[in-house]
Structure 1
Amino acid sequence: MQPTPTPVFSPSVAQRFWPKVDKTDTCWLWTAHKGGGGYGRFKVEGRMVPAHRVAYELASGVIPDGFELDHLCRVRHCVNPAHLEPVTGRENTLRGQSPSAQHAIKTHCANGHPFNSSNTYLRPTGGRACRACRRAAVYAYKARKIASRALPRPAVS
């Protein structure tokens, strides 16, 4: 038996919230206001908050500090608590479809070199680069610089 969640919101919040939800066979779709990113928005105590957070807290209790909710179904306006999982911001980003997530799953660079501990340079900005490709780029740059110095300069009249 699951423990009863500690009430986070007053009963009046739940009475206003649930009528704005269309419970389909899979997702529970938010039918009221949606923000620019497609996430549902709901007014609580004078401020707009993400609807999926309200749904989760009504059903499951407080979201742990340092965690955000990941939509397992990938439907941004879904408020089904069974489709929401508290995860760290990093985990949520890596589970998504963002460029950061796409690059994180790569195991080899564009030229086929493996991203492993001996061949991966971690940039100060948090990105990564292939040491073999970087070495080749530096070598090519130096070769161009040397070649440009060897060219005869036009005579100045």
Structure 2
Amino acid sequence: MTDIEARFWSKVDKSGDCWLWTAATTYGYGRFAITKRQMIGAHRFAWETVNGPVPDGMVIDHLCRIRLCVNPAHMEVVTNGENVLRGEGLSALNARKTHCKNGHEFTPENTIVTKNPSGNGRACRECRRAAWTARATCPECGGSFSARNLARHRTNQHGGSHV
């Protein structure tokens, strides 16, 4: 064991199943100073010490979900996308949904993949269809319009802005 490895492991509490980092942290993750100018994630140092380098384009996923854990047995090398989808963030939670808010199942036939500034999303085809075909009556002239077009009709035909 090198001096750097000995210094690293001296900062680890191995008393439980998760081996907890006890020194510096950033955003809840352990940070280890290899030199005065070179910092590395504590979990990454532990992984690389035991298993070798992490391949380019890959990241380390904490299978135990404990950010301070440096037990290599609790880690797996995955793509960043896989790591995100395994997590508890909004992207992961939404990706795990099987039904829309109205209870329609997300099947290939009933799912619309959307693109927006923050990335990709999905919408329920059945809900979209219902929104477009819903009818509403104009209170001014009694005409029937799609619910989506009623406000435009009222503004164009009856003046002013209407809600």
TM-score range, shorter chain: 0.7 to 0.9
RMSD: 2.0
Q: For 2:31 and 2:158, how far apart are their aligned partners in 1?
A: 68
| Equivalent residues in 2 for 1:66-85, closer than 5 Å | 66-85=57-76
The one of the two structures with greater contact order (alpha-carbon pairs below 8 A, sep at least 6) is 1
Q: Report Cα offsets for 1:84-123 as digits up to 9, x if no partner.
A: 1101111111111111110001011001111111111111
Q: Which has the higher helix share?
A: 1
Q: In structure 2, the residue corresponding to 1:123 is in which secondary structure?
A: strand
Over the matched positions of the two proteins, sequence identity in percent amounts to: 50
AA aligned opposite 1:92: N
| Equivalent residues in 2 for 1:51-130, closer than 5 Å | 51-124=42-115, 125-130=119-124
State the match for 1:6 in structure 2. none
Q: For 1:128 and 1:12, how far apart are their aligned partners in 2?
A: 52
| Runs of 5+ consecutive residues of structure 1 not aligned to the other structure | 1-9
Q: In structure 1, the residue corresponding to 2:56 is in which secondary structure?
A: coil
Q: For 1:127 and 1:51, how far apart are their aligned partners in 2?
A: 34
Deviation of residue 43 (structure 1)?
1.1
AA aligned opposite 1:130: C
Aligned pair count reads 143
Q: In structure 1, the residue corresponding to 2:112 is in which secondary structure?
A: strand
State the match for 2:148 in structure 1. 141
Q: For 1:153 and 1:144, how far apart are their aligned partners in 2?
A: 11
TM-score, normalised relative to structure 1: 0.82
C-alpha distance 55-153 of structure 1, shift in aligned 2 (>3 A): closer
Deviation of residue 153 (structure 1)?
5.0
TM-score, normalised relative to structure 2: 0.79
Deviation of residue 22 (structure 1)?
0.4
State the match for 1:131 in structure 2. 125
Deviation of residue 12 (structure 1)?
2.6
Q: For 2:156 and 2:21, how far apart are their aligned partners in 1?
A: 69
Q: Report Cα offsets for 1:44-70 as digits up to 9, x if no partner.
A: 242221100000001111112221111
Q: Which has the higher strand share?
A: 2
Q: For 1:52 and 1:150, how far apart are their aligned partners in 2?
A: 62
C-alpha distance 14-144 of structure 1, shift in aligned 2 (>3 A): same
C-alpha distance 76-153 of structure 1, shift in aligned 2 (>3 A): closer
C-alpha distance 150-34 of structure 1, shift in aligned 2 (>3 A): closer
Q: Does 2:31 correspond to 1:41?
A: yes
Q: For 1:62 and 1:131, how far apart are their aligned partners in 2?
A: 45
